[in-house]
Structure 1
Amino acid sequence: MITAAVVDDDRMLLDGLRSWLADVPQVRLVSAVATVDELLAGADGVVDVVLLDLVLRDASVPADNIRRLRAAGSRVLMISTVADRSRIVAAMAAGADGYLTKDHDLKTLVSAMEEVAAGGTVHSPELAFAWAHDKSPTRPRLSPKELQVLLDYASGLTLKSTARRAGISPNTAKYYLDRVKDKYQQAGRPAYTKIDLACRVREDGLGDGAEAWNRG
């Protein structure tokens, strides 16, 4: 059973989600409120997943909202109509676990909540687009050797084969790979496994012309 809360100042959306989630046996909606302050003040235990609107009318800062919810022990799935790429990227960097626009259906929403509750990250097309076009200073900048190691390893090669192709030792290849992972994690983008790295390559459009992309 996943406990969930919604923070959104659209009353129609709150009522709609109450109705939607009432028929989902694996999700229990415990709160539907307009502000993070209201949620935290009335919280009775840790909520597994909070559906958080990106921009609220109380003028709260999205990144602050995310950090407060994460500090309270909840994972955060952003839901919004806002397509501002910089805000989406900033929300992920602040610790959000995914982003969905509000035009998705119930099945997609529930799947996203299950993924987030299990410790994963929701990679919607909108989020991938925002990352691929991210021009912020915090966007991961990879050296040519880091990029080569990332592309070869994420394509399915072993670390030993990756090192051989790059003309370096396995220990050096691991050093470059660890640097790549660290840069993505500092940007709020998970890069723990080979699958994670393959997702980052796909999202960022790396490959042909990647060196020019990386230079920005």
Structure 2
Amino acid sequence: MRGPAVARVITVAVVDDDRMLLDGLRVWLEEVPGVVLAATACTVDGLLGARGAGPVPYDVVLLDLVLADGSRPPDNIRRVRAAGPRVLVISTVADRRRIVAAIAAGADGYLTKDHDLPALVEAVEEVAGGGTVHSPELAFAWAHDDGPARPRLSPKERQVLLEYASGLTLKATARRAGVSPHTAKYYLDRVKEKYQQAGRPT
């Protein structure tokens, strides 16, 4: 006879040079069952330490897009992903090119810092489960990307992007596009895959 299922605990690390944010997240996440804040650091070097390229024991790293040490966001994302964890970028920055470059480098989602705790926890759970966190800011960056390396999108992918980028919920976006919410998310996931394929070295 099998015993009751054990709830999975998600281990989270945060890389951010905003001390108030780090302290706030520490207090916030203490109250969240199933999510443990295992480490904080001001730089990716500080998080990965002397481990070199070895794996780290975190499921998700919340990574600030722009750090004061002058490190490049795509490099930071690639280094963290190479160490094992999935990456959720959190930022106040709304620069479209930086957002696009972050996803192309392997980030699993982009969330602005003005979201509340339930939205952050939902995003962490989505990323830890292998999913992608889509936000209107990310959709807007993709929809208005004019970079030379932008991938070719299908008409339906572009329609879903534009609707979602306008601030509609996923459900309302799906209704406008004449598809189910599941299919709308699939289109957004496809766009992410295309950007990550375009961002990989050939």
Q: TM class, shorter-chain normalised?
A: 0.7 to 0.9
Shift of residue 40 of structure 1? 0.5
* Alignment partner, residue 40 of structure 1: 48
The residue type equivalent to 2:93 in the other structure is V
Kindly name which structure, 1 or 2, has the bigger radius of gyration based on alpha carbons: 1
TM-score (norm 1): 0.68
Per-residue CA deviation, residues 77-127 of structure 1 (Å, 9 max, x unaligned), is 000000100000000000000001100000000000000000110001111
1:187-216 superposed Cα distances (whole Å, 9 cap, x missing partner): 128xxxxxxxxxxxxxxxxxxxxxxxxxxx
The answer on 1:29 being equivalent to 2:44 is no
Return closer, same or farther for 1:116/1:184 CA change in 2, 3 Å cut-off: closer
2:26 pairs, out of 8, 18, 26, with 18
Report the RMSD for the aligned CA atoms in angstroms.
Answer: 2.5
Distance 1:74-1:135 versus aligned 2 partners, 3 A rule? same
SS of the residue aligned with 1:29?
strand
Structure 2 gaps of 5+ residues are 1-8, 160-176, 180-189, 198-202
User: Equivalences for 1:37-186 in 2 at 5 Å?
Assistant: 37-41=45-49, 45-142=56-153, 147=155, 185-186=193-194
Q: Which amino acid aligns with 2:78?
A: R
CA distance in 1, matches of 2:192, 2:15: 28
Aligned residues: 160
Unaligned residue ranges in structure 1 (runs of 5+): 157-180, 190-216
Structure 1 stretches of 4+ with a deviation exceeding 2 A read 42-46, 146-151, 183-186
> 1:46, 1:72 within 8 Å by CA — same for their partners in 2?
no
Q: For 1:52-72, what per-residue CA distance to the aligned partner results, in whole angstroms no more than 9, with x for missing partners?
A: 000000000100000001000
Question: CA separation in 1, counterparts of 2:145 and 2:157?
Answer: 22
Q: Percent identity?
A: 67
Instruction: Name the aligned partner's letter for residue 8 of structure 1.
Output: D
TM-score normalised by structure 2 residue count? 0.72
The question of whether the paired residues in 2 share the 8 Å contact of 1:48 and 1:75 is answered with yes
Displacement of 1:46 in angstroms is: 2.3
Q: Residue 138 of structure 1: CA displacement? A: 2.1
